[in-house]
Amino acid sequence: MKRNYRTAFNALKKMGVPVFIHRDDEKRFDISAEEINSSDWVSYWELPKGWDCGVHPKIEEVLSKLGLHAEWMNPGHLRVYE
């Protein structure tokens, strides 16, 4: 994993965001929308006030500082890209 991905992964994990490395693509990481605390951070079905595309603003802040963004792969998880 590139440095910016690893830095973002570690920062989000420290914040309590349910992140994981997908077995099919170890160059990137994903954010789960299916863990117990996922709704605190991401929501596919409901858009909480102040959230853009169902992603908590703190996640977007961490990712954007490192030149990354998250996209929904399906209602169960987001993948992080440059």
State pLDDT tens for residues 4-48. 999 999 999 999 999 999 887 778 899 999 999 898 999 888 877
pLDDT for 24 equals 78
The CA distance from 16 to 23, in Å, is: 21
Domain that holds residue 61: 3-81
For residue 47, give Cα distances in angstroms to 3, 36, 52. 31, 18, 8
| Global confidence as pTM | 0.89
The CA distance from 36 to 7, in Å, is: 24
| pLDDT exceeds 90 at position 63 | yes
Instruction: Name the residue with higher pLDDT: 25 or 73.
Output: 73
The CA distance from 62 to 14, in Å, is: 12
Find the mean pLDDT for residues 63-74: 94
User: What total number of domains does the chain contain?
Assistant: 1
| pLDDT exceeds 80 at position 55 | yes
